[in-house]
A and B are shown apart, each in its own frame.
Chain A
Amino acid sequence: MSTEDNSAFLEVVNIKTHFETPRGVVRAVDDVSFSLTRGRSLGIVGESGSGKTILVRSIMGLLPKRGTLREGAVMYRGENLINKTPAEMRGTWGREMAMIFQDPMTSLNPLMKVGKQIAEPLMSHLGMEKATAWATAEKLLHDVHIAEAQRRLSQYPHELSGGMRQRVMIAIALACGPSILFADEPTTALDVTVQAQILELINEQRRQRNMSLLLVTHDLGVVAGNTDEIAVMYGGKLVEKAPTKTLFAEMKMPYTHALLESIPKLNHAAHTRLATISGRPPDLVHPPKGCRFAPRCHFARDRCHSEEPPLTAGKSPDHVYACFYPVGSAEYSERKVEISRS
């Protein structure tokens, strides 16, 4: 971690991303703020439909213009990116901010050689000649631990395994030496055995290149060992954020707790019923009036259904959560006893 550059160099302030649809306005991301310092990593966790992918694409400005409303500010190195046109963003994409997508099966161009796909940003951003770009591409494949890099360059994506394709995608992301890496569910589409390797690779490269990492996932287990901080999203809102250790030790939001509970544990007896969160993610066209999680929350009271809980600071530094009756509060414990009785 660099000490000389410790200022928050990515600062997301009250970002909103709404989509106009025939059903109405979808508030996919609603008033989310956080900051990221150089070299640090932040995990964003949430269910499908919690807005985490949209958040990332919104920060990068990769969403289609049509029907998309973006508000707030994305401060990157003191510059607000939110109102930049795609043409103005081109120098940032790939060069400053790079992205790893979820599904390596569909995210690489099936008709283009791997080498060309890696060389492309090198040639357009760094003005490399074709030969230099391909040589650099080979080196990058080497960096992401692909054997026989030379041969792989002239292969097409369908000739590679899923894990290898994801490595290629990481190589593409790393190509121009970005300072922030956005990884959108980078391991979701992969075999479990490959998942750990890919996460390790991402972290290794992050450390070596002093990049910041924004790791989006639905799996609390994935971020647990891999990011410095964790932000939990629900229904387009940030509901809890804390340094990883703090979060696991002092989680306040019943939703975070429920997420953790829904991970099967090794020490569970065989055939233990898997804990699930009943109900569905909220309809983001007509979100619940109060806390968005309230309709599914066992600990919700009247206040939760009418009033939106603001982000409150926890005891430990950098811990914030949005809940009136957080884990550990008197009301929470009271309800817990009631539930266990019934």
Chain B
Amino acid sequence: MRYLSQRLLQFSIVFFIVTFGVMVLMRLGLNAPGDPARTMLGGTVSQEMIDQISKQYHLNSNLIVQYWYWLKGIVWSQDFGYSVQQNISVATYMRPKILVTFFLGIYALTWGLIIAVPIAVYQAYKRDSNFDKAGNFFSFFFISVPALVFSPFIIYVFVMKLGWFPRIGEKIYPWDNFGEHFRNFFLPVVVLSLPTAAVFVRLLRADMIATLQSDFITLARAKGVSPQRTLWSHALRNSLFSVLTSVGVQIGSLVGGALVVEQYFNMKGMGFLLISTILSKDLFVVQSLSAILVASVVFANLGIDLLYTVIDPRIRHARALV
């Protein structure tokens, strides 16, 4: 449990640094009283309006106090603040965008793994075979081709030429209409998951090759364990660590990397929202979005950390001791 409290402390520190940093950065140059409110409201607005918003959200107090009220709002009443520009609560404004990115990310990671694991395992097993060479070529290919190039190509082929998939329509949730949801997400997920899979393939293949040379693999063979079992139950589990670690790293970059895909496929996700609110200086939205980003990345990595203990008894026992 000391381990968990350590991780929570880490999380709090990172969370504070990022969200407070974002707050400070977003308000650079907005020093005079009323400046933040004026910026948030945009355009020409009356002084009373500015005063009222300033007062309501404590915008004229110092940053620590403002930060405190914002944090308190989130923790006590799940209130992320109010988007004055959109005239809705930040939570309502963010929710559909976050869901879009959430689905994109989950699907991309899941499919990345589903595609990568068998390919990498078989590549390592049949090292230097034609299959291995093809695997290496394609993984390099998909790592190298940016979404910027890949997305329009895919749109051109599958949307414009073949017409298999719709161009627009992110607002379909799986619980509303799964078929539509699938059709809407398929292409963007392809664009996101192939490079993700390519990274996993490279990492897992390298680890598998190293593991396959270990003594305990030779022992498994010398016992007469079947190659399939040797591969999947002895070697794979011992080779998962780099891939798992990179899943944690990818979660952060998928949210960022999804931006291009969101643009091309006209899906309004977190990346889209972040950029547009930074530009329009919708302070509360930017701040809350960063908070959610930080929290999801940190918690995802915490989850992955816990997965290590599931996979490796040595880590489990070492942690039980501290």
Contacts and interface: CB of A to CB of B under 8 A. Distances in A.
Interface of A: 57, 60, 62, 66, 86-87, 90-95, 98-99, 101-103, 106-112, 120-121, 124-125, 156, 158-159, 169, 172, 175-176
A93 B216 contact: no
B317 A95 contact: no
A156 B224 contact: no
Nearest to B237: A111
A99 B229 CA distance: 19
Q: Is the interface of B mostly helix, strand, loop or mixed?
A: helix
B223 to A, nearest CB: 4
Contact of A109 (B224, B227, B234): B234
Contact of B224 (A57, A94, A103, A106): A94
B225 A158 contact: no
B312 A110 contact: yes
Contacts of B221: 62, 86, 93
Contact of A108 (B219, B314, B317): B219
Nearest to B311: A111
5 contacts: A109-B220, A110-B216, A121-B224, A156-B313, A169-B219
Given A109-B238, A111-B238, A86 B227 contact: yes
Contacts of B233: 112
Interface of B: 127-128, 214-216, 218-227, 229, 233-234, 237-238, 311-314, 317
B218 A124 contact: no
A60 B226 CA distance: 16
Contacts of A102: 215
Which 10 residue pairs of A and B lie closest in terms of their CB atoms, listed nearest first? A94-B224, A93-B224, A107-B215, A94-B223, A121-B223, A156-B313, A109-B216, A106-B215, A99-B222, A90-B224
A62 B222 contact: yes
Contacts of B215: 101-103, 106-107
A106 B313 contact: no
B219 to A, nearest CB: 5
Contacts of A125: 224
Given A94-B225, A156-B314, 19 more contacts: A57-B218, A62-B222, A66-B128, A91-B224, A92-B224, A93-B222, A99-B219, A99-B222, A101-B215, A102-B215, A109-B219, A110-B314, A111-B313, A112-B234, A124-B223, A124-B226, A156-B313, A169-B219, A176-B224
Contacts of B127: 66
B233 to A, nearest CB: 8
A159 B317 CA distance: 9
B214 A106 contact: yes
Contact of B219 (A95, A111, A172): A172
B226 A107 contact: no
A106 B214 CA distance: 7
Nearest to A64: B213
A98 B225 contact: no
B224 to A, nearest CB: 3
